Amino acid sequence: MSVAAAVSLPRAGRAHRTLLVALLLAIAALLVIAEADTRRAEAQLARAVVAALTPGRAVASGSIVYFGIGTPEVAGLSITALCSTTVLVVPLVLLAAAVLGVTRARSARVVLGLAVGVAVAVASNMIRFGSAAWAYSGYGREGFDLVHRYLGSLFVIAGFIAAILLVLRIALRESPRRGVADPDVGRRGRARAGGASRPVRRDGSTTTSTARSATSPADHLDVAAPLRRDRRRTGTRPGRKDRR
């Protein structure tokens, strides 16, 4: 009965990991298929960032974020398929599925690493959209091209690399194992501590403990050695009377 239980547990763990890998692959496929809907949801999120960095009001319609409403110039920021966060999130989901399928990383740590990586990727792209809208409001088309095509792209690439590293670091990090204490070592340590210590009275004097009385013969040899040397100097020998 115990053998059957031991065999069923690893099978249940493999089935759980296989199911989680299949779920991640399905999520990645769904993100690609529903890419247009994802961009519309992303525009709603980008609207809040753009409104905080540009003058006037900002609204989202479909995959376009209009900003500068209430000012002399109103502009729109269109989120295309290549600029969408889907391009960043799908590789992270596939990476998490590969880690689960190839390594023995814990499922909870893989899911946590994926959540952190997706958050970093989405935040990087939102900052890119907000910076591009801010550059257009302050510096016109030239500022928009500089931030959107060059500086913003480099920033998103750096954020994507950081997201990948976070996924791998969190997912593959092993939990520290606690060492098992050796009871014999603890006993020997307590015996040494008991033999070397002496309780102290309130008046400052020390009392000899019971553990101290069980000393080794080597301790007596150190005391007897000066006595034997003194006897040689005076010409006496132990066990005999002095002859004069």
Diameter of the chain measured on Cα atoms = 131
217 pLDDT tier (thresholds 50, 70, 90):
very low
Percent of the chain residues topping a pLDDT of 70: 66
Distance CA 41, CA 36 (A): 9
151-208 pLDDT tens trace: 999 999 999 999 999 999 999 987 555 444 445 545 555 555 555 445 445 455 444 4
For residue 74, pLDDT beyond 50: yes
Instruction: Specify the pLDDT at position 16.
Output: 85
Return the amino acid letter for 222: D
pLDDT digits (tens, 9 = 90+) for 27-51: 999 999 999 999 999 999 999 999 9
Give the start-to-end residue ranges of the domains of the chain: 2-172
Q: Per-residue pLDDT for 64 more than 90? A: yes
